[in-house]
Amino acid sequence: MSYPEILYKYRAFNANLLMSLINGSVWFSKPADLNDPFDCQLVLEDIAPARAEFESKLENAFQQLATRLGKYVCFSKTSGQFYTGDSLSDEFKAEVVEFKGHVEKAMREVGVFSASSQCMNTTMWSHYGDYHKGVCIGYYTERLFPKNSLAEILRKVTYLKPEKIRCNVYDAYASCCCNADKDAYMQFVNSLVSVKSNDWEYEEEWRFIKELHGGICIGTDAICSISFGMRASVECKSTIRNILADVPMVYFQMRRSGSGLCLESVNMKPDSEYWNVSPED
């Protein structure tokens, strides 16, 4: 998968923003604290598959694991331990219930840092940029968490119709090789944390997912630009400029486009008039 070179975070101008700039940090939220109450709240269905269907999915999962590892993988269990005839065994049911509990716990405990692939969305400026009075921070994607592989922690959000956002725990158990494939398990959990209703598709969201919460230091060298909302105050701009005085930075002023109901971005050089005035004044 290819990743955007720059990812953006819309922020209100407040104490939390200033602390994050001073400390060079970003915030990983718990899923329960996200602004959409349906976010990361997928209910895992437990509709048991037919025996032949489950065995086929399990075989495919182990073939994929063997291909990834480059060696044969032996699975010690037999299908007789999962089914008695065509009925689920009690042992199998108990294993799936335990697996479901682990997944639900993991979904509650991961941390999420959300960003967008674009910075010109007027709706997001209104919702997250304090009605265009805040800022939009541009981050170099690869500099945010250089100790981690992007493939491990960064996911592009998948947008689906709400009725299509479903997951069968038995299918998931098979795809994770009955919880023997830890990499597949974490990819599965991350996929659940990065699917949303298509009502949110305009956000073009990407998510960094880690097993932690709270403020994480990234350093200011991960920041490449600051865009000020078209209603951002002179005080907002001068305060942020002073905080980042020793950091190479590109600043932009958002303003109304000359044609149409959209924004345009103006590069703010040191002598720009917008350091002393708002486009809306």
Return the pLDDT at 126. Answer: 97
What whole-number distance in Å separates Cα of residue 252 and Cα of residue 264?
10
Residue count of the chain, please give it.
281
- pLDDT of residue 260 exceeding 80: no
Return the pLDDT at 74. Answer: 62
pTM: 0.89
| Average model confidence (pLDDT) across the chain | 90
Read off the tokens for 29: 């939220």
Nearest residue to 113 (alpha-carbon basis) of 93, 76, 141, 149: 141
In the chain, alpha helices (H): 15-23, 51-69, 90-109, 122-127, 141-144, 150-153, 169-175, 182-193, 234-243
Residue 14 confidence class, pLDDT cut points 50, 70, 90: very high
Question: What does the DSSP 8-state code read for residue 34?
Answer: S
Average pLDDT over residues 183-194: 91
Q: State the CB neighbour count (10 A cutoff) for residue 21.
A: 20
Average pLDDT over residues 101-122: 94
Average pLDDT over residues 264-280: 96
Which of 50-54, 166-170, 259-263 has the largest mean confidence?
A: 166-170
Read off the tokens for 219: 């350093």
- pLDDT of residue 149 exceeding 80: yes
